[in-house]
Amino acid sequence: MQLGGESLLSTGFNQPLDSAHRFFIEPRLVFSRSLEDVFRDDERVARYDFQDFLGEFNLGANVGRYGQARIGYLYDERDISVDTGATLMPEGKPVDAGLHVLAELDSRDTAFNPTRGFAAALDYLKSDSSLGADRDWEKAEIGIGMALPLRRDVLWMTLAAGSDFDSDLPGDRMFSVGGPDSFAGFEQGELRVREYWLASTSYLWRIKDLLSIRNHSLYVGVGVTGGEVFDRLDGGEDGELYGGSVFLTGRTLFGPLTVGVGTTSTESWSLWLSVGRPVGHGTILERGVFR
């Protein structure tokens, strides 16, 4: 159970198919509600209410020590309504149903602020009327992250990309770009696009050991990001984007902490503060495997 801007109630049952627990099946049920802002020219013009009742049945495999892959059928009844502001996406109650493929690899030494290791994820969805859907579309997203120790400091590198393969992805299913994990100068999910790519690098200087035996340290970081976006929901100009950020982050006695400021080549900027591991619904880089 999760409460907040994105609330959900989820349950699943993981059943191994062999004694080594390499293969498994997993049915899942999820009810979720999220309030998401829609922007135009750096201004919030609407807030949408998305409610989903989702069922999924997966066949999966554990790959080595660090990897897992799943393939299955997904059925999602979605209620789309405007909470406040203008109607920029159609309201209604469409059903999306079809194939879902998810693969993840995670060898990081810790789930937040890793000092070494590699993470990767691939997520593919295809909604098809022949499988019970009201809308036909597909999209895929891939993310890669790496943490390299440099004496007491750390270098982070990330790469992400998403595409709808010219399938006319509905606005409520578009990729949400913006926020500390993509372009820090934008608001969280400020740009809704049908295709994007981005690459970023951050260097973190260790400035204080809080509890070295548990790897609790504070870092000052500087990051730069570059990428491109295409087919924006707000009708804005497609093309290249650049951004930078300065932040303080670390695993403290009170949990993960990050505070920072970022800017972009469009002269947007933002200040953010997060305590704990934030739950996001933007790019694939905000999935648990990268945070």
CA angle in degrees (0–180, nearest 5) for 1-214-3: 15
**Each residue's pLDDT tens digit, 12-46:** 999 999 999 999 999 999 999 999 999 988 889 99
Domain count for the chain: 1
Identify whether 44 is part of a domain: yes
240: in domain:
yes
Answer whether 0.75 is exceeded by the pTM.
Answer: yes
DSSP 113: S
Low-confidence ranges of the chain (pLDDT < 70): 210-215, 277-281, 291
212 lies in some domain: yes
In a domain, 121, yes or no: yes
Backbone angles phi, psi at 48, to 5 degrees: -105, 145
CATH number at residue 96: 2.40.160.50
**pLDDT, tens digit (0-9, with 9 covering 90-100), for 133-150:** 999 999 999 999 999 999
Per-residue tokens: 231: 């087919």
Tell me if 119 is assigned to some domain. yes
Residue 1 placed within a domain: no
Q: What is the pLDDT of residue 232?
A: 95
Query: Element (H or E) spanning 153, and its range?
Result: strand 153-163
Q: In 3D, which of 72, 95, 92, 73 has the Cα closest to residue 82?
A: 92
In the chain the first and final C-alpha atoms are separated, in Å, by 19
**Segments forming the whole domain that contains residue 189:** 6-290
Say how many residues make up the chain: 291
Spatial contact of 127 and 135, defined as CB atoms under 8 Å apart: yes
pLDDT at 291: 63
Q: Specify if 112 maps to a domain.
A: yes
pLDDT of residue 29: 98
Distance CA 4, CA 229 (A): 29
Q: Which residue has the tokens 């994820």?
A: 121
Has residue 167 been placed in a domain? Answer: yes
